[in-house]
Every structure is written in C-alpha cells, then in structure tokens.
Amino acid sequence: MPALRPRRDRRNRRKRTSAGRNLELKRHYRKSKLHTTNQNTSSSLRSRIAGMPKTELHMHLEGSLEADLMFRLARRNKIELRWKSEDELRAAYKFSCLQDFLDVYYAGLTVLLTEQDFFDMTWAYLETMHKENVLHVEVFISPQAHTRRNVPFEAMFEGIDGALKQAQKQWDMTTGLIFGLQRQWSEEDAMAMFDQARPVADRIVGIGLGGPELPNPPSKFVHAFERARAEGWKTMAHAGEEGPASYVADTVDLLKVDRIDHGVRCADDPALVARLAKLRIPLTVCPLSNVELKVFPTLKDHNLKTLLRAGVAVTINSDDPSYFGGYMNENFSATQEALDLTADDVYTIARNGFEAAFLPADVKARHIAALDAYWKP
C-alpha cells in the first residue's frame, strides 16, 4: 500500500498548481493585451493616415478608370467592350505579370475618345484624392496610346488639363501632368510626340517612361531623355519593376532621371541601394500594384521597409488604383500594417513624397508645414 502524502504536501501541491495556473493566465493576459495593443496601434495609424496630408507621384490616369465609368463612357461613345458587365470586367483583374495587366489596360482605353471623356476620367480620380486628403498629385497620361487611336491630341490634353485646373480652383490642390513615353514603341515615335507637345510645353511638368519593361531597356531612349531635359522638363522612368537592378542603374546613368518609378529591384544590388540613398534619388513605390503583378508574393514580403531603413527616399503611390485594389489611403495603411511600419516611418514616407514633388520651393514648404502641423501638433 503506497504511503499517504501528508496533508501539508497536498496543500503545497495545490499551491504550486494554483500558482502555475495564475502564471499561465498572466502570460495569456499579457499576450492578449499585446495583441490588442497592436490592433489598436494599427487602427489608430490607419485613422491618422486617412487624415494625413499626402502627395501622389505615380498614378496613370488610364489606370484610375473604374469599371462603372468605363461602361458609362462606352455607352456614351457606342463602344462595345469585350466584357458584358462590370462584374465580368472586375473578374478579369487577375494578373500573373505586367503584360496580363497591360492587355486589360489597353482594351479599356478604347472608351476614351472626346475631351469630355478625359475630363470625366481625371475628375473622378481628383475627387477621390480630395476625399483622401491628398494635397498634391502628379499624374501620368500616355499620349501615344491615344493619338495612335486617332484621338486628337488637343482633346486628350485639354480634357485632363481642364480637370486639373478645376481641382486647383475648387480645392487649392496643386497638380502636375506627366507625359509617359511607351517603351514598346520606337524612340522616333517618342520624338514625334514631343513635337505635338511643344505648344503646351509649359503646362507639362515632366516626361516619364512606361509600358512593358522587358525587353525594352532604358538605353533605347537616351536621345529622347536628352531632348526632354533640353525642353526643360523633369524626367523619370519606370525601372526595376520586372526589369533587373541594372535597368535602375541605367536609368540613373544613361537617362539621368530626377526620380525612379518603382525601382524595387535595386535591392538585388546593395551598392546601387547605397548609391540611391546617397544621391537621394526618390523611388515612387506602388506596394499594392507590386503584389498584384507578382513582383512580391505578398505585401509582407515587400522590401519597402528594408529600402527605407537603408536610407532610400521611398514614397508610396497607387499606380493603377482601379485595377490594383486601392488608392492612396489603402496603399499607405495596408503597407503600414503588413510591414509593421512605425508612426515615424509613415511620416518619413509622406514627407519624402512632398520633397520628391516637382514643385516650387515655397509651395513644397507649405505642404510639408501642413503635414508637420497634422502629424506633430
């Protein structure tokens, strides 16, 4: 017969068991509290981001064409789209690469024919930006994609310019229009577009380079960018989205750009990252776009935070928001949550945007002062 434990030992055991349970409860409480604190912090930052003064530097107007507006313009212009409904169109927003997206993107351009169409598209985007507390926008349009469809250059330009001027008048929003060259076409075609743009040169802030990055290296447009600088325009180019880090380097060395659009593959070359940081050449990063086009598997895998920590002047933008699931606020908030960005990180990225904008120094200072007043009262 086993010896009975003294009653005192049983009490001690109960004490130890009770103490163990209490310790586990305390650990669970601390863990739950930490989880709740993290949730509250993210929720608080999402709210602060929504009200934060912002700038957008990388957005293609054609990529802001929402499905309902696309169908409305199609009906207005008696254009038959290959999709039978808005839902069918949205279902096509499943992309495995940049070219998959471009196929849908270019098909959507067919509804844009008149000055009113271009005004309506631009104004719809600007209204959204005003609601999201965006103080300054610099938007792309691709003239070649429209004039090749026999859309008059003047109709395209005046429609967009009219909406930008209306936003300036109605909301005191500052704006800039960028003409994006299409890299799948020749440099001669780009030069011809410059000739068309000459009468409105003072109403264009810069020249960019978009379209399929592969197999169209920056070296293909060296002379076009030389001319753009001679005309007095700022310059930027898409590089390092699907192209290699060497394309980012060539964009700096050969095209001599003021900004790089995307640029995230620079991370494959640590020396290039250090150089970009030292030169303070801004990257207009588009996080949700990068995930949708499979540049990164998920937003948690994005390298924006790594580049930020390395001193690179990263900014956050929406690229083609109607196709990629979010405008400025969603890009900022989703990235903050996925990468666990701090409040200081968010402020730095927002400030980078204003510093990278093609604005007079006094206007830039005014916008940064608004950001500081909001973020650091």
Return the closest-CA partner of residue 118 out of 180, 81, 64, 43. 64
Going by the DSSP 8-state scheme, the letter that residue 110 receives in this structure is: G
Contact between 136 and 174 (Cβ < 8 Å)? yes
DSSP 337-357: HHHT--HHHHHHHHHHHHHHS
Distance, CA of 335 to CA of 308 (rounded, Å):
13
To the query of whether residue 355 is one of the catalytic residues in this protein, the response is no
Sorted by sequence, the CB contacts under 8 Å of residue 153 that are 6+ apart come out as: 143, 146, 147, 196, 197
Sign of the dihedral defined by the CA atoms of residues 355, 361, 363, 368, in that order: positive
Contact between 347 and 375 (Cβ < 8 Å)? yes
Name the catalytic one among 62, 241, 242, 292: 241
**Distance between the two ends of the chain, CA-based, in angstroms?**
77
Hey, which residues are catalytic here? Answer: 241
